[in-house]
């Protein structure tokens, strides 16, 4: 069995895979990463592991994880099941590498746009010949709310809520419309840009805001919150076979 580990700013998502099937998902605080991985290892017969965003944990913790299970870091030098055409491949984030690997695995010989709606919103495009060209990065929903609050003197800090009307009739409604409607229009607009260039386009939405956004977007999408973990597992399998 494989263990895929995605380290966030405060939380860690980990998944146990048997070949390419997700068996069980775990979510825990990053401060508990050592004990949680030990528990997972005790529960499952884990032979190999892979981790993204290793910079978010200390070198000491990473060494401790290495003593629990053989582990692979995702970096720009890892072998990938796609051709990386990014102009600065050494700056490409581990999460984006994993997302593209998942796209190629799940949608072979298709043009795929992966939208990861989390802390940031990332757009990543891979064509039907498995050529990865790049995409875009913009602030996520929570970051936009925080920027309006912290960079102004009077605007309150809000949490996202579904829009009843895109015309805000008070300050709170106006902020929510500006952020949420702005993100929806941005995503729909970017999708339309890609559709004009690539007629046959598969769209995948993932990340923490998947459920919140999926029903509000115009385009038909595949919503999968575990897409990154699936990509990590695919990278691990691909590199084990090299």
Residue 93 known to bind ligand: yes
The rounded distance, in Å, linking the Cα atoms of 173 and 24 is 39
Q: Which residues pair with 222 in a beta bridge?
A: 204
Residue 9 known to bind ligand: yes
Residue 144 known to bind ligand: no
Closest CA to 71 of 126, 9, 23, 5: 5
Given 19, 20, 95, 124, which residue is catalytic? 95
Residues making up the chain, counted from first to last: 242
The rounded distance, in Å, linking the Cα atoms of 242 and 238 is 7
Residue 13 known to bind ligand: yes
Residue 88 known to bind ligand: no
Residue 10 known to bind ligand: yes
Query: Any residues with CB less than 8 A from the CB of 223 and at least 6 apart, and which?
Result: 204, 205, 206, 210, 211, 214
Between the alpha carbon of residue 240 and those of residues 79, 132, 228, the distances in Å are: 10, 22, 18
| Structure token pair of residue 184 | 């929806």
Residue 102 known to bind ligand: no
Residue 7 known to bind ligand: yes
| Structure token pair of residue 206 | 């993932």
Which secondary structure element, helix H or strand E, spans residue 2, and what is its range?
Answer: strand 2-7
CB atoms within 10 A of CB 217: 18
Q: Tell me, yes or no, if 95 is annotated catalytic.
A: yes
Residue 151 known to bind ligand: no
| Structure token pair of residue 34 | 């050592």
Residue 6 known to bind ligand: yes
Bind-site residues for ATP: 6-13, 119
Catalytic positions: 95
Binding residues for K(+): 116
Report the binding-site residues. 6-13, 86, 93-96, 116, 119, 171
- Which residues sit in the known binding site for substrate? 86, 93-96, 171
């Amino acid at each position: 069995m494989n263990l895929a580990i995605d380290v966030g700013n405060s939380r860690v998502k980990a998944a146990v895979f048997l070949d390419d099937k997700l068996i069980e998902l775990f979510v825990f605080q990053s401060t508990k990463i050592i004990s949680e991985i030990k528990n997972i290892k005790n529960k499952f017969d884990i032979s190999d592991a892979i981790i993204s965003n290793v910079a978010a944990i200390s070198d000491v913790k990473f060494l401790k994880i290495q003593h629990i299970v053989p582990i692979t870091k995702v970096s720009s030098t890892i072998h990938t099941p796609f051709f990386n055409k990014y102009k600065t491949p050494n700056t490409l984030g581990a999460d984006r590498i994993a997302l593209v690997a998942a796209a190629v695995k799940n949608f072979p010989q298709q043009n795929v746009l992966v939208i990861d709606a989390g802390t940031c919103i990332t757009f990543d495009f891979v064509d039907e010949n498995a050529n990865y060209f790049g995409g875009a990065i913009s602030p996520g929903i929570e970051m936009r709310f925080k920027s309006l609050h912290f960079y102004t003197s009077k605007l309150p800090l809000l949490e996202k809520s579904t829009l009843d009307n895109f015309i805000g009739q008070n300050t709170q409604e106006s902020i929510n419309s500006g952020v949420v409607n702005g993100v929806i229009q941005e995503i729909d607009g970017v999708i339309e840009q890609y559709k004009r260039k690539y007629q046959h386009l598969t769209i995948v939405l993932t990340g923490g805001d998947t459920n919140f956004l999926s029903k509000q977007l115009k385009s038909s999408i595949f919503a999968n919150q575990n897409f990154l973990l699936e990509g990590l597992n695919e990278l691990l399998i691909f590199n084990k076979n090299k």
